[in-house]
Amino acid sequence: MEIIKPTTAKDRIILALDVDSTEEVIKYVDLLKDYVGFFKVGLQLFTSCGYKSVEVIKEHGGKVYFDGKFQDIPNTVAQTCINLLKHGIDFFNISATGSSKMMTSTLDACNEYAKKNEIAPPIILAATLLSSFGQKTLTNELGVEMNISEYALKLARIAKESGLSGVVAPDTDAEKIKKELGEDFIVVCPAVRPTWAIVNDQIRIVSPSDAIKAGADYMVIGRPVTLAHDPVAAAKLIITEIEEALILKEKGI
């Protein structure tokens, strides 16, 4: 699957399916497939339903983004990602902190598998830092003295040099990443919350407008839609906010 720049506001939305059953997956895919670009399968859903969750999304007309943030020795991550390709997942991420060797080994192995099996090469992103991280966690617990945004930019730079297609990074980092690494380098913005939504457990959160202004190509939104009284209405509100932000950006406002 070739990931190109999204052409509509709804294409930019990746809906996080942080649920525990295929019944819930079917409910949200049937309800929202016309209002979002991708459905995110993360660790919660995958450890509950496995590849069945992926099959169900595709069977009901949705597209899959796999959020595993894999980090292990290079061979293990490479073979793990090949397993994703075997199940038709071609848009996913691994952890940028796993090293350039892990990233290049994974990319090379996946491209070789894709070529051998005559399928499209995968779109592999590098997750920089978790949206639950703040400067205090980075410095006091991980011992990294660098400013958190500069550290994320460094990880993004390593990811691009390793050949990956883009990164998962918040809007506070997206603008710098786009400026230094180019407009074609994909940025998926996590932890996006409309202004009317509850923050929950994220620290570095942004609004859809913020993400667009910073240059993000895609944004991950979950609970503000899935927990809404009317998920379709919530999705439509987000689409409207994205459309308005795109108009302002085009005008340079």
Which sequence positions are flagged as catalytic?
69
Q: How many helices (H) and strands (E) does the chain have?
A: 11, 8
CA-angle at 13, arms to 64 and 246, nearest 5°: 145
Task: Note whether 54 and 17 are within 8 A (CB).
Answer: no
Q: How far apart are CA 240 and CA 3, in angstroms?
A: 23
Q: How far is CA 209 from CA 105, 218, 233, in A?
A: 36, 12, 18
Q: What is the CA radius of gyration of the chain?
A: 17
Strand extents, DSSP E, the chain: 13-16, 38-41, 64-70, 91-95, 123-127, 166-168, 186-189, 218-221
Helix (H) or strand (E) holding 12: none
